Structure 1
Amino acid sequence: MQTLHQYLLILHIISGVLALCVFWGPMLAKKGSPWHVRSGRWYSQLMYLICGAGILMCALVLTAPLVVKAADLSPGQDPVKFAAAVRQMSGFLLLLCLLALMNLRQGLLALQAGPARLSLRLWTHQGLVALTFLCALWTLWHAVPRQFVLGQIFGGIALFSSVGCFRYIHRASVERSDLLKEHIGNMLASAIAVFTAFFAFGGRKVLDLGPELQLLSWVLPSVLGIAATLWYNRRYAKGRAGLKTAAVR
């Protein structure tokens, strides 16, 4: 199990680094252009690898924490308490992987499905949204009494995001602008997971952030991602308003 976990971790890290670079292709390219579509496809494939490896790693740790994380167990440390702490963190990381995967699928299918949203309503996708919702509830259920701040923050984000996905899927009707907003918002949300991992794990060490800034390293990517989503949506809304005014004239 340890060896498999290590290989998955290497795949997870390499895919994450590549995704950090490739993300700027669809982000900066003209929307709908060949380069936007091509780089977006690369980014999506990397995200599938990141999420898949992450989910498998979390499953291994949750199944056998004392085997997979044996090297982290200090001499004299209580194995029961150690296993409980490791499982709590792995459950939290599993939620992040599910959240990123759900946002990625929602963003991709929003454009592919069109106003009918038939592929979004398949049990495979709605099952993923439901699983993310239940995992968010489970995380909040354990995080609140244990004062696990990260679990409270991201449990709330995952809960809100999964409910938003369900509302879009089952809305009576959607406009073309709604498709693009759903695509942009969820693709940016999936990227937040990559940047969160960079700041919270690698970036915190590279930038030499102290313990007092650990929470900031987790929360900052989400704050910036939400701000970027609002900016994109406002920019697109202004662009459509300008086109309508020009058409009237």
Structure 2
Amino acid sequence: MAGFRIMVVEDEERMRQLLHLYMQNEGFEVVDAYDGQQALDLFEKYPMDLVILDVMLPNVDGWTVCRQIRQGSQVPIIMLTARGEENDKLFGFDLGVDDYVVKPFSPKELVARVKALLKRSRGNANAQDRVIKYESLSIEPLSRRVTINDEDIILTPKEFDLLFFLASHPGQVFSREQLLHHVWGYDFYGDSRTVDAHVKNLRSKLGNYGRYIVTVWGVGYKFDDSV
């Protein structure tokens, strides 16, 4: 997948070199950072298509790096962590993390996740290209832009995908498992609370329009602009 620039943020040199090699072998341009502050400096200097970010970093930790990136960018972020606890994952999803990989992991699995995220973040050429509008809420799939009263709403790639999918099927109820399949894909190794965390974030960011994402108790969610 030539043409993509990936930043690898990992303080352990051997792991950083290994990830660099695997990504480079896939045709990616790779930018390395050994701590959180260097990662933020490089992110300001170069446009990135995806960030692989370790949680435990010197100077500035991975959570802080993620939070600062999310203040102005929707770039996909994959977190590397030695801890796979559910609360840690939910905390990360609240910050805008798109995927998790728990150490130790297979580099080939990480490459597969990177490719899947890049494919979804850039959009599928065969996807619907129509703009979806509900009152002052506008969802533009080609530019992956969401606006309310012509003001941009900053969403993570997964938040956009989830909103676009639900809004493309108004009134249709989807279980959490169905949403994991349609939005995250078969390659995602997560649980249904991942969906809940993203819905919570979407409702918060959409303000009054967050009510359109309706919980159907015991089943899942639907998009309903009549509420």
* TM, length-normalised to structure 2: 0.29
* TM, length-normalised to structure 1: 0.27
Where relative contact order (Cα < 8 A, 6+ residues apart) is larger, the structure is 1
**Greater percentage in helix:** 1
